[in-house]
Amino acid sequence: MSYRRAEGTFAREGVELKKPSANGAIQNIVDEMQAATAAAKCHKCGCFHGALSELTEALPSIPSEAREMIQPVIETGKKHRIPEEYDCIGCRVCWPANALNFAAEAFPDIEFGGDACPTEIPAREHGWPPLPGDFTVLDCAGHVAVCALTSKGLVEGVVEARPSGVAIVGTLYTENLGIERIITNVLSNPNITTLLICGADSEQRIGHLPGQTFRSLFEHGIDERGRIIDAKGRRPIIKNITHDTMETFRKEVRILDRIGDEDVSGLVEALAGISADQEPRRVERRTHDVPRMIHAQPVERLVLDPKGYFVVFPDREQQSILIEHYLNDGTLAHVFTGERADDLYTTVIAYELVSRLDHAAYLGKELVRAEQALRTGEPYIQDRAAEPSCCASNGCKGDPQ
């Protein structure tokens, strides 16, 4: 069964729901319930059933203009619901629960969301943030991102307090790549409208000054070379964000400058008081600056290296690593010894004894494991699994000890 969302309509087989022309929280209720009605998984879910019941019960108390918008969506939803089969399946985005949240916002005198969805709002939506970093996601639906600069303890304090409306909180140490990651992650979440920058900037002698650089970015932007105008950091150059994306960021996200403030309680209180006075952007997520994520494929059986295979084991008496290099007919051709994994694999490569990249990667992994075993006293047995092991496919013998 295929699903699509065209402009102004949600559609699924047999479902065509026209979108009324209105804005604000009431329109959001309509949008979320349309999305739920268009999804077959919702038809037999307790979240959908509960939301329909609560909205139906609330209809008499809802102003007539809003009721005229919401009631048709409720009636269409009732036509497509089927007997309930599960209370909740823990979807990362729960449209019925979102609809009740918007209803509570639009009609504060009416109680919504009692038992409609038994799960908590997910902290992290699949795929966001698109880039990794030193951060903690609190609520992907939040409208505030917090950059605590170099104050790791401040991040921990905000995470512990979990103030409402905070989507993400993390540190920033560099005036180029770190800023690029924040811009990409913030723009990729259409709910975030505010960036609070707080905590301690790095000292002048260190040279990065990410706080001062970020402030300059908001105030002055970047020049034609990608350099942040008036930034004092060592290399305030943006290479992976286009000028148009940068201007979108400066236009759509407001900055709250609390650089130097490390008072956890004061900042948490300020965060709790930040009002969502800007509607979420609700635009298409802008991830075009992020390279496509490539998922690693399962290892297949590896091919024999024409140069031969290796036996690796730690010599604990000499506190060194021993490598025996065998030709594929079983003849011992070389013996290497050394204390460091990187010294050994670079020597083996210099002797041109590895011709396959997968074999080189495997050898490096095993040498690091052997070095770790020497340092910690842990036992070491060379990998000899038949299918995934390069060593096994090359005829390795395992630890001769």
Cβ-contact 240, 131 below 8 angstroms = no
pLDDT attached to residue 26: 87
Report the run of H or E that residue 137 belongs to, with start and end. strand 135-137
- Predicted TM-score (pTM) of the model is 0.53
Per-residue pLDDT of the chain (401 residues; tens, 9 = 90+): 222 233 333 333 344 443 333 357 788 899 889 989 988 888 888 888 888 998 998 899 888 888 999 999 999 999 999 888 776 665 656 788 878 878 877 887 887 654 444 444 444 455 688 888 889 999 888 889 999 999 999 999 999 998 888 999 999 988 888 999 999 999 988 889 999 999 999 765 556 789 999 999 999 999 988 999 999 887 899 988 888 889 989 988 999 999 999 999 999 888 877 754 555 555 555 555 566 667 777 776 667 899 999 999 899 888 999 999 999 988 999 999 999 999 999 999 999 999 999 899 999 999 999 999 999 988 888 874 333 334 434 444 443 33
Residue 368: predicted pLDDT:
93
User: What is the per-residue pLDDT for 277?
Assistant: 53
- Sign of the Cα torsion 176, 181, 187, 191 reads negative
Q: What is the CATH number assigned to the segment(s) 135-273? A: 3.40.50
Structure tokens at 234: 């060592």
* Structure confidence at residue 115 (pLDDT): 44
State both tokens at 249.
């960021």
pLDDT at position 191 is 86
Cα separation, 145 vs 179, whole angstroms:
13
**Distance between CA atoms of 290 and 233, rounded to whole angstroms?**
24
Q: Where are the domains of the chain?
A: 4-106, 135-273, 309-393
Q: In this structure, is the dihedral angle defined by the CA atoms of residues 333, 335, 341 and 345, taken in order, positive or negative?
A: negative
- Amino acid 256: pLDDT: 92
pLDDT, residue 302, reads 66
* pLDDT given for residue 179 in this prediction: 93
316 three-class SS: coil
Residues 6+ apart with CB under 8 A from 354: 305, 307, 348, 360, 363
Beta carbons of 396 and 363 less than 8 angstroms apart:
no
